[in-house]
Structure 1
Amino acid sequence: MMHVSGKGAAAAAGGRSRQTRADAGSGWEAVFVDPLGQVVQQRWADAALAVAFEELEPVSAFPVVPGQRWGPGRWWSATTGRHVACGSAAMRAQLMVLDRDPEVVGLAGRPVRLLWRDGSGKVYSWVPQLFARYSDGTALLADCPSRPEAGGERARRAVPVLEAACAQAGYRYRRLEPLQKVEAANLKWLAGYRHPRNQGRPGLAAAVREAFARPRPLIEGTEAVGDPIEVLPAVFHALWHGHLTAPVDVPLNAHVLVSHGTGGADGRRDRTGGPDSEGRQ
């Protein structure tokens, strides 16, 4: 459950303050939509400590850009069992990476807008695309550009401000680099099997893990368990969740070496580096 303290709690009780500018000298401000659907603005330092951003809806909608092949959608998260608002194919790829990371416990799309003033008093704002919460309580605010220059000068100027604001809160801010094509294709395929129903019948998941107790080609271990039509979904499900491991930087095929995992996602990026919108569930 989201908790708002201090300024946010007072605003919740007495009708929200709808300021359009951050108070001079108060530093960064956070704007978000609370669980009741009301807009709240409070000091960033307070909000970062008290607000569960991973549980919030977007503070503003992802834009629809005419002519683009991929528009806003929603990603079903195996981590949370809920949908996450998603604005681009590049963001969906980063959601796949984070959704596989066993240290990630919460995800949200555009849950907070940051406001700040420059030296002349002019007010600026930025809405990071992605929020990820980790099991140790720290968090990542990130943007997911499809190319380095995406966002232009405004994005470039926002980076040091967002880095400083996140450092104050014990968070990190990153512009995540796009995935390589092979890695993105492999994760997209495995994501289609992330839903629990792909574990198969009782006992199948354990049999799959046992079959790959030593490294062996994917198809060899699969056939050792039974009919590939039944077993392969369970193998891909185990690969998604890290119960089995295989390299994600080479094309996934019948002869790729698969081995017993350690419960973590193979090939995952560190937290600062980083199918269709629903996935094949």
Structure 2
Amino acid sequence: MAVRFRGDDGAFVDTTLRRLPVEEVLAGRPVREFRSWQGRRHYSGWYWSATTGGHVVYESRLELARILLADQDPTVVAIAAQPFLLEGVDGDRKRRHVPDLLLAHKDGTLTVVDVKAAARVADPKVAAQFAWTRAVCERHGFGFEVWTGADAVLVENLRFLAGYRRPATIATELVPAVIDAAVVPVAISALERRLGLSVPQWLVRPVILHLLWRSWLVADLSRVLGGDTLVSAEVVA
């Protein structure tokens, strides 16, 4: 299975999937450049990832949503967008395909992700492309995922929490106190009031939201976040 990727110097590298230098791919550049033009239907751009400490490209808001989920997922340690070009034979035809994402996980596994609107997944051409990609990935030890979206409330909560993903935006010295105060489930507003007795209350909420982003505090993110949302401390590995 032929593969082409781009290193961090921008140069293209040709290899095979079996011999793919995954670390170079994860540290490299998107294999396909995207361009913007007036009237373009897709919303594209660059997202700063707390996981990678760098920017990840996306070509649609749906791709951005999947990147948000990956960036907030504590089991994901690296994210690469448009990581490589796959080229191979599928029956009597030759296929070329650039997956949307490559995710590396703490346990050493890798997941190739294709993002597609739910309405398009049933298209025979799309389904055939994904079936081929899945088979290729499984033969070479990669996981494969077709992602069509997630619960709207969850995604919007993550969009909001992402505003607090940078440690530089919070009073990091308050992190231990917030975690200690949330050993048992407590409402966000009550947690703010409790800690606000000893420190400025306006410093507390950003820390709570940052810890929710990092999963050091946990809450039911399928419900709209608010002052009455219960949070509790998660044991940090």
TM-score (norm 2): 0.90
Work out which of the residue numbers 155, 164, 167 in structure 2 matches 1:196.
167
- 1:90 aligned to which of 56, 62, 65: 62
Distance 1:154 1:51, change over 3 A: farther
Match of 1:71 in 2: 43
Instruction: Report which structure shows greater RCO (CA 8 Å, sep ≥6).
Output: 1
* Deviations 1:103-138, CA, capped at 9 Å, x for gaps: 211111101011112332x32111111111112322
Cα RMSD after superposing both structures: 2.1
Show the 5 A alignment for 1:104-143: 104-120=76-92, 122-143=93-114
CA distance 1:151–1:212, change in 2 (3 Å): same
Among residues 148, 152, 169, which one is paired with 1:177 in the alignment?
148
Pairwise CA distance, 1:65 = 7.7
- Aligned residue in 1 for 2:74: 102
Write 1 or 2 for the structure with the bigger share of strand.
2
The answer for the alignment partner of 2:16 in structure 1 is 43
From 132, 140, 158, the counterpart of 1:187: 158
CA 1:99–1:172 in structure 2 vs 1: closer, same or farther (change >3 Å)?
A: same
TM superposition shift of 1:258: 0.9
TM-score calculated relative to the size of structure 1: 0.77
Partner of 1:256: 229
Q: What are the ranges of 5 or more consecutive residues in structure 2 without an aligned counterpart? A: none
Aligned residues: 234
Taking the aligned partners of 2:47 and 2:128, their CA distance within structure 1 comes to: 29
Change beyond 3 A, Cα 1:150–1:104: same
Instruction: For residues 145-168 of structure 1, give each alpha carbon's deviation from its aligned partner in whole angstroms, at most 9, with x where no partner exists.
Output: 232415944321111211121112
* DSSP-derived class of the 1:162 partner: helix
The 1:223–1:50 alpha-carbon spacing in structure 2 relative to 1, beyond 3 Å, is closer
2:182 — aligned with what? 212
Q: Distance in 2 between matches of 1:65 and 1:246?
A: 40
Identity %: 28
Structure 1 consecutive aligned stretches of length 4 or more whose deviation exceeds 4 Å: 63-70
Contact kept in structure 2, 1:199 and 1:205, CA below 8 Å: no
Q: Which segments of 5 or more consecutive residues in structure 1 lack a partner in the other structure?
A: 1-27, 265-281
Q: Which amino acid aligns with 2:110?
A: A
